[in-house]
Amino acid sequence: MHTEAMERLNKKKKNKSQDKAVGVWAEVAYRLSRNRAAVFGLVIILILVLFALFPQAFAGYGYDDQDYSRIFIAPCAEHPMGTDDLGRDIFSRVVYGTRISLSVGLISMLCSLLLGGLLGSLSAVNGGVSDNVIMRICDVFMSIPGTLLAISICAALGTGMTNLIIAITIALVPSFSRTVRAAILTVKDQEYIEAARAIGASKARLILRHMFPNALGPIIVRATLDVAGGITTAAALSFIGLGVAPPTPEWGCMLTQAKQYITSLDKWYIVVFPGVMIMITVFALNLFGDGLRDAFDPRSKN
């Protein structure tokens, strides 16, 4: 009785739980694939990732190849986005810029995911004093508007990509911690967690095996949207002279330099294209993030 029957039962259970785990993700993927806007966003993101990984393959020039005989050329076949005041090909710079913006956004998101995930789950699981302390600290950081906090940190630390990432991470962490905490708290009191606790599952097991997978939906959505937020903030900081400095082809940084030409209508392309790239990137991430949210929580759509 004990051996064979139990084994069969366990096997059956195991298969079932695996089926279910696969089922949830497959379901999300299916719903996502049915969402045309989200798929469109994903395609754009993938193209941008290709830009970031292999800029040489797309850019006709280096990002700092100056040619004073070819300054201010309007968009044409050879320079699809024209050239700037130093005769650099704007399209090439914009392609190289993808690498910077995407990595700043992605790294900041990952750092804040790590830090915020840690703080948020500590807060949610332990409760009590540590919850209170962590949440009050988050309150402090959240009562400084994100852009301002990033400005403050960047001003203190100085320019450069690392400092930019640190600033954006710190600006993202508090709200991320809250998202994680809220997500875990909603699953914490569910009956299946009670059940797991009742059969004596360890705390680590509770968090990793039971709470995290179920709380993952809102966290993934948040992370996607935070990449977009990070990219915008990075561009904004570079635009006001914090963050990345020239000649790095960061999009915000390109706009700072372009700003002086805004009064000459014939040089519109200098001002337009870097911004268009920011917009397209953030737009695609938002489309995808919205799609993810609907896919994780089909009720939210209606």
Partner 1 sequence: MAKYIGKRILMMIPVLLGVILVVFIMNHISPGNPAELLAGEGATDEAVAALEEELGLNDPLYVQFFNYVKGIVTGFDLGTSYQTKRPVIDELMDRFPTTAKLALLSIIISTVVGITLGIISAVKQNTIIDHISTGFALIGVSMPAFWAGMMLILLFSIYLKWLPVSGVDTWTGWILPAFTSSMVGMATITRMTRSSMLEVLCQDYIVTARAKGLSEKIIIVKHALKNALIPIITVVGIQLGTMLGGAVLTESVFSIPGLGKYMVDSIKNRDYPVVQGGVLLLAIVFSLVNLLVDIIYAYVDPRIKSQYSRGKKRAD
Where along the sequence are the contacts to partner 1 (CB under 8 A)? Answer: 136-137, 139-141, 143-149, 151-153, 155-158, 228, 232, 235-236, 239-242, 252, 255, 259, 262-265, 268, 271-272, 274-275, 278-279, 282-283, 286-287, 290, 300, 302
Tell me the closest approach of the beta carbon of residue 243 to partner 1, in angstroms: 11
Tell me the closest approach of the beta carbon of residue 205 to partner 1, in angstroms: 35
Beta carbon nearer to partner 1, 151 or 216: 151
What is the distance between the alpha carbons of residues 178 and 139, in angstroms, rounded to a whole number? 10
Tell me the closest approach of the beta carbon of residue 166 to partner 1, in angstroms: 12
Q: Which residues pair with 83 in a beta bridge?
A: 89
Planar angle of CA 94, 96, 101, nearest 5 degrees? 80
Amino acid occupying residue 146: G
Beta carbon nearer to partner 1, 125 or 285: 285
Beta carbon nearer to partner 1, 62 or 75: 75
Structure tokens that stand for 169 in this block = 């991470």
Tell me the closest approach of the beta carbon of residue 239 to partner 1, in angstroms: 6
Using an 8 Å Cβ cutoff, are 86 and 66 in contact?
yes
Tell me the closest approach of the beta carbon of residue 302 to partner 1, in angstroms: 7
Query: Side-chain half-sphere of 234: how many Cα atoms within 13 Å?
Result: 38
Tell me the closest approach of the beta carbon of residue 207 to partner 1, in angstroms: 28
Tell me the closest approach of the beta carbon of residue 133 to partner 1, in angstroms: 11
Using an 8 Å Cβ cutoff, are 147 and 86 in contact?
no
What is the distance between the alpha carbons of residues 68 and 74, in angstroms, rounded to a whole number? 15
Beta carbon nearer to partner 1, 6 or 46: 46
Beta carbon nearer to partner 1, 9 or 148: 148
Beta carbon nearer to partner 1, 125 or 227: 227
Beta carbon nearer to partner 1, 117 or 291: 291
Q: For residue 51, give Cα distances in angstroms to 79, 91, 173, 189, 238.
A: 17, 11, 28, 45, 21
Beta carbon nearer to partner 1, 28 or 255: 255
Tell me the closest approach of the beta carbon of residue 193 to partner 1, in angstroms: 26
Burial of residue 24 (number of CB atoms within 10 Å: 0-12, 13-18, 19+): middle
